[in-house]
């Protein structure tokens, strides 16, 4: 029986060495130390053995039981540790991995251009102000020398909110010029301001027409302001935006709220003045309208035109990046196609 116990011990230890998870360990415990295991059965039968064998067998069986119990405990600990280590390994942060790049937003090409235009005029001492998109007929037309039934109203395809109410009718502003009036009603000269903002037209859209686009309006009113100030300011603007060497042309034009009115054009960049499809074979590209503020407009806001004079200008904003990057369709700006917008 002593031999049997020794074999049992050796066999148990050998099997234990192959155990590598808690479930197998529990099965091993039941097999060798459970109530129905051969070791426990031997221990129970010790009492019925002859006296001389009882002591030696009993001692040996107890010794094997204690040895197996301590091996079990040790194995349990080492399994636990292995489990923890592998868990730690799998959860470990590798701080040397490069980070995941976050998508970065960018400014819309129109916003970039607006910022650029505003910077140029801020450097010349103009303040930047904004006005309402929903405007009264009075500010959009009447106060700018465009009374009811004036043919110049045909220049603007207007989106009306309520029509047929004279100066009290509301509309979506067709240009940023109404802010000239609002500004002069509130402030006395000297005034130097630009007004960036959205304007609206009731028009079918195509490559060169959008129902909403951006304008920047400019206004300067003071004593002794002349056409030379207008030319100097706009020349400087064209040089800053289109480059030092670009030729700039002033020609007569008509807008009801200025007298005289001018149209400013720059030399076509595509053909350097030779004439091409982009410039309509003229060699020049119109970029803004301007003029000296009409005396009637000044008088309407109680600024005496015998003492004060001023100049005003207005330009389309999208036209600048269109010329600069060769964009041939204005609708691309507001169709929210990221493939287009990401290029700027």
Query: Which residues bind to Zn ion, rule: CB under 5 A?
Result: 268, 270-271, 276, 278-279
Q: Is 256 or 283 the residue whose CB approaches Zn ion more closely?
A: 283
Q: Is 25 or 276 the residue whose CB approaches Zn ion more closely?
A: 276
Least CB distance from residue 276 to Zn ion, whole Å?
4
Q: Is 287 or 292 the residue whose CB approaches Zn ion more closely?
A: 287
Q: Is 274 or 307 the residue whose CB approaches Zn ion more closely?
A: 274
Least CB distance from residue 214 to Zn ion, whole Å?
24
Strand order from edge to edge, sheet including 308-316: 127-128, 191-200, 212-223, 308-316, 284-293, 258-267, 248-253
The CA distance from 91 to 84, in Å, is 10
Which residues are CB-contacts of 282 (< 8 A; sequence separation ≥ 6)? 268, 275
**Can you spell out the DSSP letters for 44-90?**
HHGGGS-HHHHHHHHHHHHHHHHHHHHHHHHHHHHHHHHHHHHHHHH
Which residues lie across from 209 on neighbouring strands? 206
Q: Please classify residue 71 by burial: count the beta carbons closer than 10 Å to its beta carbon, then call 0-12 exposed, 13-18 middle and 19+ buried.
A: middle
Q: Is 142 or 329 the residue whose CB approaches Zn ion more closely?
A: 329
The CA distance from 145 to 152, in Å, is 9
- Return the residue nearest Zn ion (CB atom): 268
Least CB distance from residue 279 to Zn ion, whole Å?
3
Q: Is 214 or 284 the residue whose CB approaches Zn ion more closely?
A: 284
Q: Is 143 or 266 the residue whose CB approaches Zn ion more closely?
A: 266
Q: What is the pairing mode between strands 258-267 and 284-293?
A: antiparallel
The DSSP symbol for 317 reads S
């Amino acid at each position: 029986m002593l031999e049997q116990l020794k074999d049992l011990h050796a066999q148990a230890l050998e099997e234990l060495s192959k155990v590598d998870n808690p479930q197998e360990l529990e099965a091993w415990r039941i097999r060798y130390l459970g109530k129905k295991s051969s070791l426990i059965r031997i221990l129970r039968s010790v009492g019925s053995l002859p006296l001389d064998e009882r002591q030696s067998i009993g001692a040996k069986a107890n010794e094997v039981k204690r040895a197996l119990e301590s091996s079990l405990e040790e194995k349990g600990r080492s399994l636990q540790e292995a489990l923890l280590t592998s868990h730690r390994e799998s959860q470990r942060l590798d701080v040397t991995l490069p980070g995941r790049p976050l998508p970065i937003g960018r400014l819309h090409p129109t916003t970039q251009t607006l910022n650029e235009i505003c910077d140029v005029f801020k450097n010349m001492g103009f303040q930047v102000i904004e006005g309402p998109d929903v405007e009264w007929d009075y500010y959009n037309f009447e106060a700018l020398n465009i009374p009811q039934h004036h043919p110049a109203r045909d220049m603007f395809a207007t989106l009306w909110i309520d029509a047929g109410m004279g100066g009290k009718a509301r509309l979506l502003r067709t240009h940023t010029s109404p802010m000239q009036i609002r500004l002069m009603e509130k402030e006395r000269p000297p005034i130097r301001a630009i007004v960036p903002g959205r304007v609206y037209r009731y028009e079918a859209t195509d490559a060169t027409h959008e129902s909403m686009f951006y304008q920047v309006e400019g206004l300067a009113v003071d004593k002794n302001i002349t056409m030379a100030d207008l030319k100097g300011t706009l020349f400087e603007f064209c040089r800053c935006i289109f480059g030092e060497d670009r030729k700039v042309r002033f020609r007569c034009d008509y807008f009801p709220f200025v007298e005289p009115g001018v149209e400013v054009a720059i030399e076509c960049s595509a053909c350097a003045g030779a004439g091409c499809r982009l410039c309509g074979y003229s060699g020049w590209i119109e970029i803004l309208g301007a003029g000296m503020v009409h005396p009637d407009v000044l008088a309407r806001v109680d600024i005496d035109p015998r003492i004060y004079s001023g100049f005003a200008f207005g330009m389309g904003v999208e036209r600048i990046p269109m010329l600069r990057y060769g964009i041939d369709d204005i609708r691309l700006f507001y169709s929210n196609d990221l493939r287009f917008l990401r290029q700027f």
